[in-house]
Amino acid sequence: MDALVLPFEKIGINDVAKVGGKNASLGEMFQKLKRYGIHVPDGFAVTATAYRLFIQENQLEQFIEKTLSSLDTKNFSNLRKVSETIKSKILKGKLPTELSEKVKGFYEKLNQAEGRELDVAVRSSATAEDLPGASFAGLHTSFLNIRGEKALLKAVKDCFASLYNARAIKYRHDKGFDKHEIALSVGVQMMVRADLACSGVTFSIDPESGFSNAVLITGCWGLGENIVQGAVIPDEFFVFKPSLEKEKKAILSKKLGSKTKTMVYAKGEGVVNLDTSVEKQQEFVLKDEEIQLLGKWAIDIEKHYGMPMDIEWAKDGTTGKLYIVQARPETVQAEKAPYTLDEYTLLEKGKLLTSGYAIGNGITSGKVKILHSPEEADLLKEGEILVTEITNPDWDPIMKKAAAIITAKGGRTSHAAIVAREMGALAIVGAEDALEIFKNGDEITIDNASGKLGKVYAGKLKWKTAQHNFKGMELPKTKPMFILADPEKAFNLSFFPNQGVGLMRMEFVVNNSIRVHPMALVHFDQLEDKEEKAQIEALCQGYQDKKEYFVDKLSQAIGTITAAFYPKDVILRMSDFKSNEYANLLGGNQFENSEENPMLGFRGASRYDHERYREGFRLECEAVKRVREDMGLENLKVMIPFCRTPEEGKKVLKLMGKYGLKQGVKGLEVYVMAEIPSNVILADEFAAVFDGFSIGSNDLTQLTLGVDRDSEILSDLFDENNSAVRWMIGEVIRVANKKGKKIGLCGQAPSDKPEFAQFLIKAGIDSISFNPDALLKGIKNMVEAEKEK
């Protein structure tokens, strides 16, 4: 007979049939990952052979088969009764003496090795678990903080019984697993004292977009069950793999979760969920060096297994050491077809009701149904939107009826998120006010197509869907690039055919993520408006230096977009707010003068070396330097907007050099916007100062024709195809080509007007940048134009 119990040191990834997916992976990691410096707690597995021996000796096989055959497989009306009947019989069974003695012996070996009686985690591991396409997430039961032989043996039998949890029976039926082919192994593993520290879940890719160069890490205080169950909104960190591999700072973003609960060991055995103190809620669970280490481990684990991985980690509060306690294949992105993409666009504006983490890409609408427990399943009608606090595996059959799911708690790695991804359903998790603002019957629209943040709008809004297949798509020689502002969309957009980002707008990040005038952070103590000062104080919580808030937030946003398209060029336009737009930022009124014509006033290059903004520009430069040098993202280039004279350009370059951004050092290229007639007339001189041009067709058209681009009355006159504008564009392209300088154009016209694309390509443009919704149409026009040429 095969072994009843095996130590982790004798188990490998090929032993799924013996010990299940979870234990096979634990043994594999315990044996093979030490060489990477990865810590995995020791333990042993009660094998599938032991489970079958238990079933055989208690004469349960025919009973289980007969009971399962009575299951209503159409409506599952008796699912719970079938489950409870089987589980009750298993729990009354007796563990074979040989098995009990083996378990006690291996437990004693663990105790002897540590010199004390250990707390252990006792985890179920089904022989079909953690396979690609079937995660079995949370279907079987695990027990934490088990101490002593008696409690351990009881937990082993409880795990055996959990093979017939109602949710597990239903899941196996839905996935087409034969009811006799699955057995259950039990993993017994030393507990990491995460109750005194923190724990969480890591994905070696972005689980939403499938972007493979980023690692997602989530964490909460105490035991990680709170994350898996979705009982808390965890901290969230994205780490960039190429930066880690270059031993650079690799953290792309850090988001503080509320972490309202902390799960700790109860006295005796078991666990208890306590309220987290306000101070702890406002503190990140991991230091930067720990985030980097977990990111590095995720890369090593992914390389070892040769596939994207879903990993659980824990930090021991007594030793301060980090551990990997579980790893399984990522089961959703692995199934997706490459080269295909569904694009969703909301066509109407509505009242924004709430938001949370977006799970799944798409838009849907329906009526709200608030449920407080799985027992209320009958109340949910097909196509309604399920709103609840959190979900667990008992909710799985209900979730399949819903058009979408909204939970008040949970993060991107919670149960609701994992199951929604696997079902291909839309979900918004961590919408904290959902249970307060909705009532049954409310008609709402869920928009998960606008980035990592899912938004809920009042009413049934219109949207459109487009399906794209990029396989074999013909691409132009001229570079098609993005005009981009929102870092939340960057990972998804990176899958479109593109040659990078021709224009990243800094203003969007300042306006939406930072919200504070940079000079209000530089001179925070001098702010006169007490209400705005309090708002800024709240935004800067956790930053001792208010200026660091600006640099940190801006560098994370720039870094995310630059990483998404790495190693392709990403050209960042330095800030180009007008004075009236700057004044709308918190604290902005105190640092901005009122101008009659802000469009032609104190904007762009003229601000950067002026005493009214010089220190603000320093912060912008520090953010860029952090991305290029600390993170190693040298594909980031910069561009200077609204530069009126070559002399002004030289002053800006000199100031940038003073702030650590020296043109030419580490490949730093600095471009200038060609958007003022002087940029064209003096193109030879501008070419001597800058590395290239980017034509801003909107401003150049406006200033060439003397037409306010925002005027409805004059809208018929605003035309990039006007011969005067075409001459301007053609001339600056001619000079750039003659001087060997790069030149691109950012604007809508080449996608809207095929003849304009033809004109640009015939003139010799190097690249054309489009808004995301215009890219594919633009590429088509470019391909046709090149054929014409």
Instruction: List residues with catalytic annotation.
Output: 415, 746
Contacts of 713 (CB under 8 A, 6+ apart): none
Is the Cβ–Cβ distance between 590 and 529 less than 8 Å? yes
Residue 191 sits at φ, ψ, to 5 deg, of -75, 135
Torsion of CA 763, 764, 767, 772, to 10 degrees: 30
Instruction: Compute the radius of gyration of the chain from its Cα atoms.
Output: 30
Rounded distance between C-alpha atoms, residue 476 and residue 134, angstroms: 40
Rounded distance between C-alpha atoms, residue 187 and residue 497, angstroms: 45
Tokens of 603: 């904007």
* Three-state secondary structure call for residue 657: helix
- Amino acid of residue 301: I
Scored b (16 or more CB within 10 A) or e, 572-598 reads bbbbbbbbebbbebbbbbebbeeeeeb
Rounded distance between C-alpha atoms, residue 624 and residue 654, angstroms: 16
**Where do we find the tokens 């032989």?**
149
Rounded distance between C-alpha atoms, residue 715 and residue 103, angstroms: 81
Residue 434 sits at φ, ψ, to 5 deg, of -55, -45
* Three-state secondary structure call for residue 708: coil
User: How far lies 47's CA from each of 24, 52, 94, 103, 111, in Å?
Assistant: 10, 9, 17, 11, 21
Rounded distance between C-alpha atoms, residue 111 and residue 118, angstroms: 6
Contacts of 362 (CB under 8 A, 6+ apart): 342, 344, 426, 448, 449, 465
Rounded distance between C-alpha atoms, residue 619 and residue 659, angstroms: 9
Q: Taking CA 142 as the corner, what is the angle to CA 141 and CA 145, rounded to the nearest 5 degrees?
A: 150
User: How far lies 308's CA from each of 211, 551, 642, in Å?
Assistant: 11, 32, 45
Rounded distance between C-alpha atoms, residue 232 and residue 253, angstroms: 19
Contacts of 674 (CB under 8 A, 6+ apart): 680, 683, 686, 693, 694, 695, 696, 700, 732, 743
Contacts of 762 (CB under 8 A, 6+ apart): 785, 788, 789
Tell me which residue of 155, 105, 122 sits closest to 4, measured CA to CA.
105
Contacts of 231 (CB under 8 A, 6+ apart): 225, 261, 273, 390, 409, 410
Tokens of 381: 């009608």
Rounded distance between C-alpha atoms, residue 242 and residue 726, angstroms: 42
- Let me know how many helices (H) and strands (E) the chain has, helices first: 30, 30
Is the Cβ–Cβ distance between 252 and 552 less than 8 Å? no
Rounded distance between C-alpha atoms, residue 418 and residue 585, angstroms: 38
Tell me which residue of 304, 423, 342 sits closest to 38, measured CA to CA.
304
* Three-state secondary structure call for residue 47: coil
